[in-house]
Amino acid sequence: MTGLGVVFTSAALGAGYHYLRRKNPDVIKPPYLLVFGVIVHVFMLLWMLTLPWSIAFKVLHKISIPVMLIFPLDQEEHFYAQKALRESEQFMRDLLESIQDGISVLNTDLTIRHVNEVMNQWYAENLPLEGEKCYECYHDADKPCDPCPTLRCIESGETEWDVVPGLPGSPAEWIELYSHPMKDPNSGEVTGVMEFPRKR
C-alpha cells in the first residue's frame, strides 16, 4: 500500500505541476523545480509513516536526508542540462539554416532525417521531406539514383562526390553532390550521411 501511495501521489503531483507549467511557463525555472521536488519528497516521506512504526523509523532515519537534499538538487541539475541541450540544438539549427547551399542528413537506409530551408525551397512540391526516402523526394524515383555518392559513402566510410540529376523542373535539375559520412565515435561505424548538394 505504501508503494502504491507513493506512486499515485507522485503521479498526481506531477500532473498538477504539468498543468501549472502549461498555464505559467515560469514554473520550470530552478526555484520552482526545487520547491516541487521538495513537495514530492515530503509526501513520499509522509507515506513512509504508514509502515509499522519500527520499520518506518528505520526507513526515515536512513533516507530522509538524502531524499530531501540530494533528489531535489538533482532536478535542478537536470533543468540546466536540458537548457544547455536546447540551446545547443537551437545553435545547430541556426547554423544549418544560415548556409545558402542545400544540406540533407540521411540515415543509412536513405531516409531523410533533416534538411535545411534551401532543400525545402528546391523540393517544395514534395514536402515534407523528412521521414521520406531521398530518391523519392529528390528524384521522383522508386530506387536510388545511379551513380549514388551517398551509397558509396556508406560503403567506403569516406567522403564521396558525383554529379547527379535533380528533380526535373525544380531549381536544381543537376546537382554536384558531396556525401560525408557520420560515424559512431566508438565503433567507427557509419550511422548516417550528411549530403551537401550544389546546383550546377
DSSP-assigned states of every residue in 99-137: -SS--EEEETTSBEEEE-HHHHHHTGGG---TTSBHHHH
Q: Are 41 and 72 in contact (CB under 8 A)?
A: yes
- Alpha-carbon gap, residue 55 to 35, rounded angstroms: 28
Whether the predicted model's global pTM rises above the 0.85 cut: no
The predicted-structure confidence for 33-56, as pLDDT tens digits, reads as follows 666 666 766 766 665 666 666 665
Grid cell in block for residue 156: 567506403
The CATH class of 100-199 is alpha beta
Is the model more confident about 31 or about 163? 163
Domain with CATH 3.30.450.20 in the chain: 100-199
**pLDDT for position 36:** 65
pLDDT at position 73 over 60: no
Percentage of the chain with pLDDT > 70? 57
Angle at 188 between CA 187 and CA 192, to 5 degrees: 115
Across the chain, the runs of DSSP E, i.e. the strands, are 104-107, 112-115, 160-165, 174-183, 190-199
Q: Using the predicted structure, report yes or no on whether residue 176 has a pLDDT greater than 80.
A: yes
pLDDT at 37: 67
DSSP state of 142: S
pLDDT of residue 181: 94
